[in-house]
Structures are given as C-alpha cells and as structure tokens.
Amino acid sequence: MKKTICILAGARPNFVKVSPLVRAIDHHAEAECLLVYAGSPDDPTLEPSLFDDLQMPRPQFFLGVNSTSLNEITSQVMAAFDRFLDEHAVDVVIVVDDLASTMAAAIVTKKRGIRLAHLVAGTRSFNINMPKEINRLVIDALSDYLFTAGVRSTGVATREQSENSQTYMVGNILMDTLRFNHGRLKKPDISPLGDVLDSQRYLVFTLNRKALIADTENLSKMLSAMAASAGDMPIIAPLRGSASQVFCDIKAKDSDRFDNLLVINSLSYLEFGWLTAHAAGVITDSGNVAEEATFNGVPCITLNNYTEHQETVSVGSNVLVGEDAGKLGEAVKNMVNGEWKKCALPDRWDGRTAERILQILLQ
C-alpha cells in the first residue's frame, strides 16, 4: 500500500525547495504526493513559467489564504488545512522553512496525530523578537522528523529535539534543484544589456526583506555606497512589488548618483538562475540567493548580520555586512576588484537530499 505524503508550500520560494522531493515521490512506486499551496491559484507570484521551469506539477490543492497579517494567516491556514485533512487521509505532512503558514500547518498536523516532518530544520537567528524565529521554535518542537541542511543546524536540532523526534542531516535540498536545472538555465532577453551579460562584468542586486525596504533613509545610504563602489560596473536589479517601487523612488531623487543601478522586471526562475550564475558578484538579503551563489562559486554579499545557513559564510562565498552602508561599500569594492575569499561547497550539497528524505520517510 502506498504511503501518502502531503507537502505544504506556503510561498513561492518553497516550490524551489520541494520540487526535487515532489519528483522523487512521483517516481516511487511506494509513495504518492499531495501538494498543497496555502495561497490561491491566481497568486501573482506563481508565474505560469515557474512550474515548467522547475519540472514539477502545479499544486493539486489550494487553501486560498490571502492576507498580510501574520496572525490572520496563521488562523486561516489552520482552519483551511484542518478542512483539507478532513477530506484527505495522509501518512505524513512535510512543512518547509519558517513561515506563519508553515507553523499553522504544523500545529494542525500534530493535533490530528499525523507524523510531521520539517524540511530545513534547526535554522536559528537566536533573536526571539523575530516572528520567524518563533515559528522555527514551534515547528521544530512539534516535528517527528527534523531534516537539516548543515552541521550547525543539525547541532541545534539535536539539542532541542523532543523524545519522539529524530534529527537527520540530509543536506541542502536547494542544491538538488540547482544541480537538476544547471544545464537548463536560460539567458534572459534584456536587449539593452546584451553585451553586458556576455561580458559577465556586472553585479546582481535583490531586495525582499520588509524591514530593510521600510527604512528608506538607510536604504538610500546603502544604495549610494553600493553604486559608488561599483564604479563603472552595472548593477542589475530584478525586483518585484514594493521593493521595485522604493528602489525607483530613491533612484529618481538623484538619478546621476545611481546611473549604474539598472532596475528590470522580475525574471523567470531559469533566467534569474542564469543571471546570478554568470555575475561577477551578487548583493542580496535572501538566504536562498546566497546559497545559490555559494553553489556557483560567485562572490556574495548579504545585507544582514546573520544567516540561517552559516556554511555559506564559513565554507562558501558569502560575506555578511548587516545594514551598514560603509561595510557594504568596502565589500563591493573588493568584489569589483576580484579580491574575494576562497570558497568551496559545504558538506552534502551533492544533489541527493530528496532521495535521503524519501528513504527515511518510507522506512
């Protein structure tokens, strides 16, 4: 009899991580996958090309939750996922990362006595004032399977695990996705930048974190330092929503100072992957983008004081500068001048994480 494995994705980045696991389950005779998305089918972040790029099916089920309030998201996902489990018998639920929707699904799963697995467990900022930190603590405490990506997160998960849980260092599942798609990356068609892309003498900038976007005064200082330190090297910024608007507003106030900052429309998964893989450097506030940079051996600057994946700093190509314009400027100078630390791939970034997870779940 097949084991039914339910995967709950709470936001677009979750699909990038679960795609290898969905494929592994779909190709195994003893398992079947129910893929659930917390949002709605018309979510604008789920562009039509996403699932084709990732070579995975669209979710079969949508909970239809649409809110910006973390408490509302939690309550709505709990109610909707509870109804879903009324209608579908599952053997195990896999939740991903540290979103409010992830925590909500974890609580409902355990209340029903269903086995719970946390993908990318043991990540910590050790800042209890961060909502995501609370989510991480709750999810890990409830999980029966703690699937970790690295040595540091494995140590955290092992220390905190309950009597009924087990910690497994399965590796970084994002690397499964990157390895699977490496030969399928697609050069973006950005007509004014054709020669720039071919030269690989450009930087890529991404911006997503709400707190960083909200502090426009400091963000302006950081952008100014970044632009000045980059000199003649273009900085390409594929941005979405509020990040794009704030970025353009800052640039419009002093366009001469930011003439090497080029805002473009957001790219498909394969196009963005090509752009970052061929860049001279990446500047980001995203942990996933920093992990991809380490995989590609591309210098990376993270606009944060911590990272949940410390191996990107200790072994990989990532450097943390916080939200300090001065530190950012110095790091960009080093990046442009080719003065960067040596880096390597961390342990178990081998593209076999999904295989390990499925073997454990089917034991």
Residues 234-266 have pLDDT tens digits of 999 998 888 888 988 888 887 778 889 998 988
In this structure, what DSSP letter does residue 255 have? G
Question: Residue 318: its pLDDT value, please?
Answer: 98
**Of the candidates 207, 219, 197, the residue with the CA atom closest to the CA atom of residue 301:** 207
Say if pTM beats, i.e. exceeds, 0.85. yes
Residue 106 is predicted with a pLDDT of 98
Please state the rounded mean pLDDT for residues 87-96: 98
pLDDT of residue 195: 81
pLDDT at 241: 84
Spatial distance between the Cα atoms of 299 and 333, rounded to a whole number of angstroms: 12
How far is CA 359 from its chain centroid? 24
> Does position 323 have pLDDT exceeding 80, yes or no?
yes
Share the mean pLDDT of the chain. Answer: 94
The pLDDT score that the predictor gives to residue 95 is: 98
Mean pLDDT score, 59-67: 95
At 253 the pLDDT is 82
pLDDT of residue 184: 95
Torsion region of 200: left, alpha or beta (phi above 0 gives left; psi -120 to 50 gives alpha): left
Distance between CA atoms of residues 202 and 46, nearest Å: 27
Q: Which of 202, 218, 178, 246 lies closest to 303, judged by CA?
A: 218
Q: Which amino acid is at 338?
A: G
DSSP for 50-71, please give it: HHHHHT-PPPSEE-----S-HH
Asked whether 73 and 45 are in contact (CB, 8 A), the reply is: no
pLDDT of 74 above 90: yes
Residue 288: band (very low, low, confident or very high) from pLDDT cuts 50, 70, 90: very high
Q: For residues 259 and 246, what is the distance between their CA atoms, to the nearest angstrom? A: 16
List the single range of 60-64, 113-117, 168-172, 309-313 with lowest mean pLDDT.
309-313
User: What is the residue whose two structure tokens read 């005064």?
Assistant: 217
Which of these, 16, 361, 363, lies nearest to 181 by C-alpha position?
Answer: 16
Percent of the chain with pLDDT over 70: 100
CA distance 214 to 238: 18
Q: Residue count of the chain, please give it.
A: 363
Distance CA 132, CA 20 (A): 25
- 3-class state of residue 37 by DSSP: strand
Span between the terminal Cα atoms of the chain, in Å: 13
Main-chain phi, psi angles of 215, to 5 degrees: -85, 75
pLDDT band of residue 68 (cuts 50, 70, 90) is confident
Q: Which amino acid is it at 97? A: D
Q: In the chain, count H helices and then E strands.
A: 16, 13
* pLDDT of the residue at 210: 86
CA distance 96 to 9: 7
- Tell me the per-residue pLDDT of 100-110, one tens digit each, with 9 for 90 and over: 999 999 999 99
Is 258 in contact with 227 (CB distance < 8 Å)?
A: yes
Please state, in angstroms and rounded to a whole number, the distance separating the CA atoms of residues 81 and 98.
Answer: 17
| Angle, CA of 64, 73 and 31, to the nearest 5° | 60
User: What was the pLDDT predicted at 105?
Assistant: 98
Q: What pLDDT is attached to residue 180?
A: 96
Higher per-residue pLDDT: 335 or 309: 335
Q: What is the pLDDT of residue 306?
A: 86
Q: Could you give the count of Cα atoms lying within 13 Å of 295 in the half-sphere of its Cβ?
A: 26
Four-point Cα dihedral 53, 148, 131, 211, nearest 10: -50
User: How far is residue 112's CA from residue 106's CA, in Å, rounded to a whole number?
Assistant: 10
How far apart, in whole angstroms, are the C-alpha atoms of residue 291 and residue 183? 18
pLDDT digits (tens, 9 = 90+) for 173-210: 999 999 999 999 999 988 777 788 888 899 999 998 88
Q: What is the pLDDT of residues 49-58, one digit of tens each?
A: 999 999 999 9
- So what's the pLDDT on residue 164? 80
Which residues sit opposite 146 in a β-bridge? 118, 167
Which amino acid type is present at position 142? Answer: L
Provide CB contacts within 8 A for 239, sequence distance 6+.
Answer: 206, 207, 247, 263, 264, 266
C-alpha distances (whole Å) from 81 to each of 4, 268, 315 are 16, 29, 39
